[in-house]
Structure 1
């Protein structure tokens, strides 16, 4: 049974799950109902993009390839792989997924930060106040067992990026931390620059 977390909580992933070496991070969201504009027609759909930043012990990206996102779908080592971009967020379940092979994560990587940005948010005048039912979950791909779920329930109006959670090393084990912090970063590259 999955552990449901609230903001700020942490949980072990590998300690209680002997032999767990691979996890999938699923991120999901729904756009709030779009109102028709004054001139008819609907506003553009909100296109959220999930990304992963592989950070060292000093909370820094060591190389450009340590940012896994819609335009760089795999880390150089192959341990973190983005499965593809969902441009609408429609449908049930995960909208985007990131596969992580914990056994292949390089020793210099101490945490994998999961973030979500809104694509082209400035031109479309969009922010996370237009999103509902956002969540991050971690599951075991071998059996489909959901290990952790964190529903983001805070108001993120005016924010264009979310730092949703992180998977990090601790005494030889891997843990998950629910973060849920809103940020102003209209593109993943701008957010990633904070970690260089």
Structure 2
């Protein structure tokens, strides 16, 4: 049976579940009704937000090494290319091939997962101790969009071998004016894998700013 998590709660993934080798991390969200139609449970809308453009949320995975930091100590390689340890819409597969982004969803429309990231826990190189799953609103400042305009946001962990949902975290705080979200993280602990439900909103402008938190 899937475990419904609260913010800050941690759960074992592999301990007592030796058959778990790969997981699918599903992330989902919906646009809240406009201010004239009511309020979404993630927060009320404020005036001035445009409904002419869909909210494009981008999920990313940040691979971290010792101390929860990006290996090499930088989020950027050169001026325009993100570190290979950041898997996102512009880099769908990690060099180890153990973390794969299944593609960008531009609207968040429809039920179920909006974006999915596959993780091979068994073969992930030992230098990686944590994978952080984040979501940024694309061009949030330019489009005057924020997470107060999002409802029904969640992250869930699924056994990729059996399609069995292991746990789910529904984000329910108020996130007005916030443009990025750290949903949760999968991390090693005493040779086992755990999941931590974080649900921390930030005002980061784009994945580079969020990734720099782990430099």
Q: TM-score, normalised by structure 1?
A: 0.94
- 1:55 deviates by 0.6
Q: Counterpart in 1 of 2:20?
A: 20
Q: CA RMSD in A?
A: 1.3
For 2:4 and 2:93, how far apart are their aligned partners in 1?
28
For 1:79 and 1:144, how far apart are their aligned partners in 2?
18
Alpha-carbon contact 1:168-1:174 (below 8 Å) kept = yes
| Aligned partner (choices 43, 48, 62) of residue 52 of structure 2 | 43
Q: Counterpart in 1 of 2:6?
A: 6
Query: Aligned ranges for residues 126-137 of structure 1 at < 5 Å?
Result: 126-137=145-156
SS in 1 for 2:141: helix
Query: Aligned ranges for residues 163-178 of structure 1 at < 5 Å?
Result: 163-178=182-197
- 1:35 deviates by 6.2
Aligned length: 192
Deviations 1:161-190 (A, max 9, x none): 000100000111000000000011110011
Q: Which runs of 5+ in 2 are unaligned?
A: 37-49, 73-82
Deviations 1:140-177 (A, max 9, x none): 12221000100000011111000010000011100000
Q: Does 2:115 match 1:106?
A: no
Q: Counterpart in 2 of 1:153?
A: 172
Alpha-carbon contact 1:78-1:104 (below 8 Å) kept = no
For 1:69 and 1:159, how far apart are their aligned partners in 2?
20
- 1:62 deviates by 1.4
- 1:34 deviates by 3.8
Q: TM-score, normalised by structure 2?
A: 0.86
SS in 2 for 1:103: coil
SS in 2 for 1:123: helix
